Structures are given as C-alpha cells and as structure tokens.
Structure 1
Amino acid sequence: MDVRRADERYQGGDPEAGIESRHAFSFGPHYDPDNLRFGAVIACNEEHLAPGAGFDEHPHSHTEIVTWVVEGELTHRDSTGHESAVRHGDVQRLSSADGMRHVERNDGPDPLTFVQMWLAPLRPGGDPYYEVVHGIADSTPYAVPEAGAMLHVRRLGAGERTAVPDAAYAYVHVVRGDVRLDGEELGAGDAARITDAKGLEAEGVTEAELLVWEMN
C-alpha cells in the first residue's frame, strides 16, 4: 500500500482566474515519469473554482472522465448537446472516445470543489458517451467497463467499517473526514494505492466519505 498525502499533490490551476488545482499524478506541465498512472487511473485532480470561474471549451479523446462534486454545483456542457448541473452525491461520466469537447464552470453563487478522475480505456476509439447518476446510494457500485474499473462510494460514521474490494488494483481517495486503513490514518485529500488488495477494511475515525476504485 502506497499512501500519498494531500499536501504532496502538484499545485496547478490559475488562482487569478479563480481556479486552484491539485494533481495526484503527472498532469499538464507537471511531469513525473514515476507517477504516470496506477491501474487504469491516470489522473485524480481536486479542482476548486470560485463563483464564475471555469474551464472554457476544450477537447478530450480516449479517456474515461468521472467527476464527483464535493461541494457547490458544477455546470457541464459538451459538443454532443448535453448540459447538466452536477451536485454532491451525483456521479458524472464523460466517455470521450474518439473525441469530444466540453465546458466545466461554476455558474453558482458558492465556491465549487470537485474531484475528477481520468481512466485509460482498454481500447481506443468508439462513440462519445455522457451520463449523470443523481444521488448515488452508499456502496452502490458504478461500473466503467470501458476501463475495466468499478467505482464504490462509501460513507462512514466514526467507528464504522467498510471492506476495500479484493482487486489487482484498488485506489482509495478520501473526500472528507478521517479514516484508518491497514494501520495508516488518512485525511481529506489523501489517497492509498493498493496492489493485490485482499481482506482490507477502512474504518471511520470521524464521519468520512471515500471514493474507491476497484480495477482488474
């Protein structure tokens, strides 16, 4: 198990434009050849957007992009005609396939924080696809078969436990609160990269919310 702390993330974005980004993997101008991916995950970005700030229209291709809003409301528009307001508890997925463009903005009155995770597909190409699952239930798995991956949303009270899926690769990101995992205490923004996960449990030290990727 390889624990990466929140304060170790690469700091990016454009603070003057109201954008602050924290990258867990090599991303944009930040290149680390020893930190390119874990399993299917090639990016895990924590984005902070001030009211009115956002990312203008830009392209993606051959990437599965899954977004979890921590607080605030994310406005999404894309070149396939979709427009959505994504809030805490919703899972948004953009399968960019052979190419599409989108806009991500904070059009609301409050600060926006979201975690965006990029996964490499098993095969390139295909048709773009977009969906939002509103109010996903606790422990309900969300499958991304194009990347051979499954997302589990876990919410814990203090002292409550949840199993980490047995998998070749498991990526555990702490959204909020504090948890104990295999003797390590993890706080908000921390993540654990687990190879050959088997028989592990996460325990809430405080009330906590986790995003857990199970990957073959």
Structure 2
Amino acid sequence: MIERRPFNSLGGANHGWLDAKHHFSFASYHDPARMGWGALRVWNDDTIAANTGFPPHPHSDMEIITYVRDGAITHQDNLGNKGRTEAGDVQVMSAGTGIQHAEYNLEPDTTRIFQIWIIPDARGGAPTWGSKPFPKGERSGRFVTLASGIAGDEDALPIRAQARVLGLTLAAGESAEYSFDGTRFGYLVPAKGAIEVNGIRLEARDGAAIRNEGAITVKALEDAEVVLVDSAP
C-alpha cells in the first residue's frame, strides 16, 4: 500500500519568517487521520527567511532529525553545542531528559529544511546533538543511511529508535530500490524533482505513506533528491 499525500493537502501555517507545512498533525494543525506513521510523529517542511529562526525552546523524549534542503541552519543549545549544517547534510538531536535549543538561518538567503521527529524506543537518557556531512555524490543512485538506531548502521548519525532516515539522489531516468521488513512503516518525500514509487507519481514535496510493501522502486522522472524514513510500527 502506497498512499500519495499531495503537497497541497498538507496542513501548515505561514508566520512570515517561517512558512511551515505539516505532513502530520502539528501545532494548530490537527487531522486525526494524520497523527503519525509508525514511530514517525512529525515531518515538517519548513521555509525559513534569511536572518531569522527558532529562538530557544525546550524538547524532551524525541529524536529530532533536521535535513537541510537549501541554505544552512545554525544550531546552539544549553549543552554548549554549536554547529552549522549545510544543504544535503543532517543534524540529529536526541532530546532525552530535556534540552533547550535554537535553530537560526544566519544566511543571506532562504533556508529550507525537513524536520523529522521520531518517537524513541524508551524515555529518558542524556540529551545529545550531532551533525554530519553527507556529500550527494555518495548517495547518487543508491539509498544511504543518514541517521539510524538499527544495528549495522554505524556510519550513520545515531538515534535512539529502531528507525532509519535515508537519502537518495537520482538523475532523470535512474532508479533505485529499497527493501522493507514486512512489519515496518515507510514515509518518503522527494525534496526535489518528480519521481515514481512503484509506479505512483509524486511531485516534489508530496508525501508517500508506505505499508505492507516488501520493496519499493524509486524512478526519477526529473533529477531528484529523496528522503525516506523506515520506522518500527
């Protein structure tokens, strides 16, 4: 089962400095049919104006993955961590028992991100933050694991959930496959470019909720950049 969720069907709010679209219920947007997908709870498509951002605010008991699509995001938190994550790269924050952080676009141009929240396997634990570059050339034509809590994915940024966040870039006409354990949930969004997933067409920023599929084949109709979450139920 693959359910296409068109970009224009997403909830959201435009705050001026932030234009946010929500694949799942978030903040003032509530849809009882879109409360999450397996352990995936939030997928926000955020457009952040230059020299603005999210001021300090707290989180706990959530794995928060930020995938930068355009521009860069600058992180700082009450643990003393600071870092700048550029387009194509990823940062992960395990909120654990509690963390306060800010995320700013200090760039002269607009920054666009996917912010993905995954429910951890267990509550608590010391909060952590990290980021890592993932050159697009290394995931050209194949899925590369960007963040994971699954054994064997040691090259990825660690999260505290039985889930993977994967990235893929394809040139027009290329395709790539990904296999699922039958009990798991997949959610896929093309950050850029039109694609087909098992024959179902998705435009850029559409979502695809995937269940009971042993494998998917992603075909690029245009040059494309794709993000996939594979999560436990």
TM-score, length of structure 2 as denominator length:
0.88
What does residue 164 of structure 1 align with? 178
How many positions carry a matched residue from both structures? 214
- Kindly provide the CA deviation profile for residues 137-192 of structure 1, in whole angstroms up to 9, marking residues without a partner as x: 31321343222101111101111111133132111111000101122110111111
- Give the distance between the partners of 1:25 and 1:76, measured in 2 at CA: 24
Alignment check: 8 A CA contact 1:49 1:106 kept: yes
What does residue 110 of structure 2 align with? 111
- Structure 1 window deviating more from structure 2 (194-203 vs 103-112): it is 194-203
Sequence identity of aligned pairs in percent? 28
- Kindly provide the CA deviation profile for residues 20-79 of structure 1, in whole angstroms up to 9, marking residues without a partner as x: 100110001112222111011111001111111111100011100001111111111111
What does residue 71 of structure 1 align with? 70
- Kindly provide the CA deviation profile for residues 110-129 of structure 1, in whole angstroms up to 9, marking residues without a partner as x: 11111110001111111101
What does residue 122 of structure 1 align with? 121
1:29-178 aligned within 5 A: 29-136=28-135, 137-138=138-139, 139-145=143-149, 146-167=160-181, 168-178=184-194
Quote how far apart the aligned CAs of 1:13 are: 4.1
Amino acid at match of 2:119: A
Amino acid at match of 2:102: V
- Give the distance between the partners of 1:21 and 1:62, measured in 2 at CA: 23
- Give the distance between the partners of 1:90 and 1:163, measured in 2 at CA: 22
Amino acid at match of 1:155: T
- Give the distance between the partners of 1:130 and 1:149, measured in 2 at CA: 17
Gaps of 5+ in 2: 150-159
Q: What is the alpha-carbon root mean square deviation over aligned residues?
A: 1.2
Alignment check: 8 A CA contact 2:190 2:227 kept: yes
Counterpart of 1:28 in 2: which secondary structure?
coil
What does residue 154 of structure 2 align with? none
What does residue 223 of structure 2 align with? 207
Quote how far apart the aligned CAs of 1:196 are: 2.1
Gaps of 5+ in 1: none
TM-score, length of structure 1 as denominator length:
0.95
Quote how far apart the aligned CAs of 1:199 are: 2.8
Counterpart of 1:7 in 2: which secondary structure?
helix
Counterpart of 1:147 in 2: which secondary structure?
coil
Counterpart of 1:159 in 2: which secondary structure?
coil
